[in-house]
Structure 1
Amino acid sequence: MTQFEGVLFDCDGVLVDSEPITNGVLREVLNESGWALTQAECMQIFIGKAVRDERARIEAETGQPLTDAWMRAFYARRDARLRAELQPVHGALEVVVAAHRHAGGRIACASGADRPKVVMQIEMAGMHPYFGDRIFSGHDQPRSKPAPDVYLAAAAHLRVDPARCLVIEDTGTGAQAGLAAGATVWGYCPEGHGRAFKGLAVHRVFHRMHDLLDSLTPEVAR
């Protein structure tokens, strides 16, 4: 396979199975604030996005301002639930180890979520020794995904041309960010339909982490 010089991972839905937990809590607090949403509706609206990026819609639906206090309360409840329930995506740790070896340590996590959450999740999943300080949040960049800023920041930190990077994403929003950065994007789609990447120039869609493991370490994985 192509020898990528850097491998950049999204976090939620790629490394850890956090989306149902986070969106479950988000649905609860939005319902309490006056916006009645089903779980499916909440997932459709917010997957791959920062909550603050939907500020205008949240304020319109709830009739309340999206305050820092509201966000702190949401983060606190979300993080407590994550600490109690979070599990890594099956096979993700093996993939991270293989990518670390494949790229000579030049791997990073580039997430649209707030950095404390991403660091907490990576530590819980046992992946922190492989990422170290190479953890990036869209909250710290001028623009969030689907803008490429967080992937460009990660590639710059690794001192790798984005065109020589592989991005692993599970949402259309994230895939757009990786493509806009000029990277090769592979889409993770455990459900098997791949609709999230429809119309996007995603190079490959895979359905099991071990498919990615086979690609990164064919001589070992088989």
Structure 2
Amino acid sequence: MSRLDCYAVVVFDCDGVLLDSNDLKTALFREVLASHGFPPAEIEAFSAFQSTNFGLSRYRLFQAALDGRFGAIRPVPIETLLADFGRRCKNGYLTQPETPGLEAALVRARQGGRTLYVVSGSDEAELCDVLGARGLAGHFSAIYGSPATKADNLARIRAHRRASGGSDGERILFVGDAFADLQAARESEADFLFMARFSTVRPALEAEARAAGCGVIEDLRELA
């Protein structure tokens, strides 16, 4: 029996699920803040928050930093931080390894008749470009990212499915590795499957996922 047997639609987060890129993202946030004059103490506070709140969009994270959540209010245009981060992230994404079993898991899911999507906190246009360049975009019916929230993007999937002839009662499985993924699944009445291997909050989220009756896998090799 497959973990996917009950689902017509499977949604994947990107960082830590499709790509082993969580450490990259954390490092790039720190680099961008340092290059625009944020002091070390504020960078440390930001990084601690970001790493335990993976899945929040860069828009919300940088705005929190500029608004003084981690120290002083900073007069840096958010567009400057976003552009710098986007350049660094796009280049870095192309060199990050896929998570174990990714390609085989996507092929099996599609062969089983399931429709696949991506929902990520990463910038949507950037994510489409990167997954296209890596030859992965063709597995997915759509790729959704920020600035929309993950819950809003799961709602977009339901709308897309209705427009494509799917039923309102279709069960959706969201494979993620962050509290933001679990929360988005709850808000959208999707089921959540925690992929633990690369999660930055593994002990806490694994405990919460199991307590909520959600499935837990180490990586995508266990998805079948």
Q: Distance in 2 between matches of 1:55 and 1:96?
A: 33
User: What is aligned with 1:6?
Assistant: 9
- 1:184 paired to 2:184: no
Please tell me the residue identity of whatever aligns with 2:171.
R
User: Pick from 28, 31, 38: which aligns with 1:28?
Assistant: 31
Amino acid at match of 2:26: N
Amino acid at match of 2:80: A
- Unaligned stretches of 5+ residues in structure 2: none
- When residues 184 and 45 of structure 1 are mapped into structure 2, their CA distance, relative to the original with a 3 A threshold, is closer
**Structure 1 residues 104-115: aligned runs within 5 Å:** 104-115=113-124
In structure 2, relative to structure 1, the CA distance for the partners of 1:194 and 1:95 (3 Å cut) is farther
- Secondary structure, in 3 states, of the residue corresponding to 1:112? strand
Cα deviation code 1:71-108 (max 9, x no counterpart): 1122112222323x222111111111112222x25111
8 Å Cα contact 2:26-2:51 kept in structure 1: no
Q: Check if 1:64 corresponds to 2:69.
A: no
**Cα distance, 1:27–1:46 mapped onto 2, change above 3 Å:** farther
**Normalised by the size of structure 1, how large is the TM-score?**
0.80
Runs of 4+ in structure 1 displaced over 6 angstroms?
A: none
Quick one: distance in 2 between partners of 1:138 and 1:76?
16
Deviations 1:36-83 (A, max 9, x none): 235962652552111221345301135324421221122112222323
Give the aligned residue type for 1:136. Y
Query: Equivalent pairs: percent with the same residue?
Result: 21
* Structure 1 residues 185-217: Cα deviation after superposition (integer angstroms, max 9, x where no partner): 10000169542244353520111221113xxxx
In structure 1, the gaps of 5 or more residues are 214-222
In structure 1, what is the equivalent of residue 152 of structure 2?
149
Does 1:118 find its partner at 2:122? no
Within the candidate set 73, 85, 98, 2:108 is matched to 98
The answer as to whether partners of 2:12 and 2:117 remain within 8 angstroms in 1 is yes
Structure number with greater CO (CA < 8 Å, separation at least 6) is: 2
CA RMSD of aligned residues (A): 2.5
Whether the 8 Å CA contact 1:184–1:202 is kept in 2: the answer is no
Secondary structure of the structure 2 residue equivalent to 1:14:
coil
Is the CA contact 2:110–2:139 (under 8 Å) kept in the aligned structure 1?
yes
Change (3 A) 1:150 1:55: same
Residues 78 and 206 of structure 1: CA distance in aligned 2, closer, same or farther (over 3 Å): same
- Contact preservation (8 Å) 1:91, 1:209: yes
Q: Which residue of 2 aligns with 1:53?
A: 60
Aligned partner of 2:221 in structure 1 is 210
Which residue of 125, 132, 144 maps to 1:136? 144
Residue in 1 that maps onto 2:205 = 196
Normalising by structure 2, report the TM-score.
0.80
